Structure 1
Amino acid sequence: MKDEKLKLMTRYAVMIALTTVMTMVVHIPTPATKGYLNLGDMVVFLAAIIFGKSGGFVVGGLGSALADILLGYTHYSPITFVVKGLEGFFAGALLETKIGQKAPIVPTAIGGVWMAFGYYIAEIFMYGREAALAGVPGNIVQGLLGAVVAVVLSVALKKTKVFNS
């Protein structure tokens, strides 16, 4: 029992670190909202696919917020923890449904759209409606790209049986 918990915690830690790295490696600043676009969503969705809603929340929230802190976007870290955590949670929860089992792109895409909406709501209070709206298209593209890449990677990982042991 302790070995299983340790194994799960280790896997979460690896995915949190991978989320942080993928968020930091490619980050494109968005001047209107003082935020940035990144590739971390694919790892958040991959965590939701592999670990479910709890793993999606933990990996999405902690990994993404840590990247914000390390990149100097500390003002975003609490928002990111909630928005990206819920992105992973929603995707993971929807992946448990019949539609999610048949077409995992649907729940991950919904998670990506949630992420864009979550940041939009937060940025309205930070910068105003117009500036917040300017960040929505980029966030939607980021979320949908992450959804597609995560689903493709999950198919490859399932074939290797890397997460079945």
Structure 2
Amino acid sequence: MVNNTRKYVLTGLMTALVLCLTYFIKVPVPYTSGYIHLGDSMIYLSVMILGPYYGAFASGVGSMLADLMGGYVHYAIPTLVIKSLMALCMGFILNSRSKKGALASVGASMVVWAVFCAGAILNLKSSIRASGTGKILEAVLEPGADAEAIAGMESKLSNLPLYLILGIAASILVLAVAAWFLSRKSGSDFFGVKAIIGMTAAGMCMVMGYFIVESFMYGPIPATFSIPPNLLQFFGGVLLAGILAPAIRKAGIARQS
């Protein structure tokens, strides 16, 4: 009974922290009427503290409430699903009992992410060939944009495939380094190698999930422009979670099974 009460209290606390860091610290993304934030850091920590299921509740509900309170009602249900899946994905990796299982998760994540990014690049190039740069600029720019804004967007559009390729390379590098360390140590620490692998997989889930949702909402081109900001959100969340992890460990908040 005491353990259950402790878990419920921690779940409520992590739900509130996910809500606060999502709602109060956010940067709008103009192309999809969405925003990036630091709430993902609390999602990662909630999974490490609570496990996959209670962590999924805190992540999904806290993020959904932030969308409802912030005026992003159209994102509320997709956010509930995507953020819950992020926590489940990370939690299952953390729960893997063997190095072989964790390494299999690394390989699967790399393949899924590479296929997704390759598909996004091919889709972007196909859309440019089919529609032309002018129509694409109309889709992502506000009406009446000046020449400077148009020139800047043309530059971003031409460099977007490069950004996506760099995103693939960075993600594969993170996973490869994590896999190498995993072969040398168990990764049983609170913020160990398994946690890093899990956060990477969760970040991939987030980027792909919002790309799919925004493709239906706004079209594939604006959704493609949201990938780099979402990657930035992922890395920012990992960084903040790493900074806060020692304080969480010192507070004696052990992961609940």
**CA pair 4-28 structure 1, distance change in 2 beyond 3 A:** same
Tell whether the 8 Å contact from 2:49 to 2:255 is kept in structure 1 after alignment: no
Specify the alignment match of 2:216 in structure 1.
125
> Which one scores higher on RCO, CA 8 angstroms, separation ≥ 6?
2
Deviation at 1:129, TM superposition (A): 0.3
- Per the normalisation by structure 2, the TM-score is 0.60
Return the alpha-carbon distance in structure 2 between the equivalents of residues 116 and 77 of structure 1: 16
**CA pair 52-5 structure 1, distance change in 2 beyond 3 A:** same
The total of aligned residue pairs comes to 164
Please list, as runs of the form range in 1=range in 2, the aligned pairs for 1:108-147 lying within 5 A after superposition. 108-147=199-238
- Per the normalisation by structure 1, the TM-score is 0.91
Q: 4+ residue stretches of structure 1 with deviation over 3 A?
A: 98-101, 162-165
**CA pair 164-57 structure 1, distance change in 2 beyond 3 A:** closer
Deviation at 1:14, TM superposition (A): 0.9
Tell whether the 8 Å contact from 2:11 to 2:55 is kept in structure 1 after alignment: no
Specify the alignment match of 1:93 in structure 2.
92
Identity of aligned residues (%): 33
Tell whether the 8 Å contact from 2:19 to 2:62 is kept in structure 1 after alignment: yes
**CA pair 76-164 structure 1, distance change in 2 beyond 3 A:** closer
Q: Report the residue type matching 2:4 in the other structure.
A: K
Specify the alignment match of 2:171 in structure 1.
none
Determine helix, strand or coil for the equivalent of 1:28: strand
Specify the alignment match of 2:27 in structure 1.
28
Determine helix, strand or coil for the equivalent of 1:47: helix
Return the alpha-carbon distance in structure 1 between the equivalents of residues 55 and 237 of structure 2: 13
Mark the runs of 5 or more structure 2 residues left unpaired by the alignment: 103-181, 188-192
Deviation at 1:22, TM superposition (A): 0.4
1:149 alignment partner, one of 227, 230, 240: 240
RMSD between aligned alpha carbons? Answer: 1.8
Please list, as runs of the form range in 1=range in 2, the aligned pairs for 1:6-21 lying within 5 A after superposition. 6-21=5-20
Deviation at 1:162, TM superposition (A): 3.5
Return the alpha-carbon distance in structure 2 between the equivalents of residues 53 and 151 of structure 1: 19
**CA pair 50-164 structure 1, distance change in 2 beyond 3 A:** closer
Tell whether the 8 Å contact from 1:19 to 1:59 is kept in structure 2 after alignment: yes
Specify the alignment match of 1:81 in structure 2.
80
Tell whether the 8 Å contact from 1:49 to 1:154 is kept in structure 2 after alignment: no
Tell whether the 8 Å contact from 1:46 to 1:151 is kept in structure 2 after alignment: no
1:102-148: per-residue Cα shift (whole Å, max 9, x none)?
10211112111210110001111100000001111111111122123
Specify the alignment match of 1:53 in structure 2.
52
**CA pair 164-37 structure 1, distance change in 2 beyond 3 A:** closer
Return the alpha-carbon distance in structure 1 between the equivalents of residues 13 and 95 of structure 2: 23
Determine helix, strand or coil for the equivalent of 2:82: helix
Q: Report the residue type matching 1:132 in the other structure.
A: A
Larger Rg: 2
Tell whether the 8 Å contact from 1:52 to 1:92 is kept in structure 2 after alignment: yes
Q: Report the residue type matching 1:54 in the other structure.
A: Y
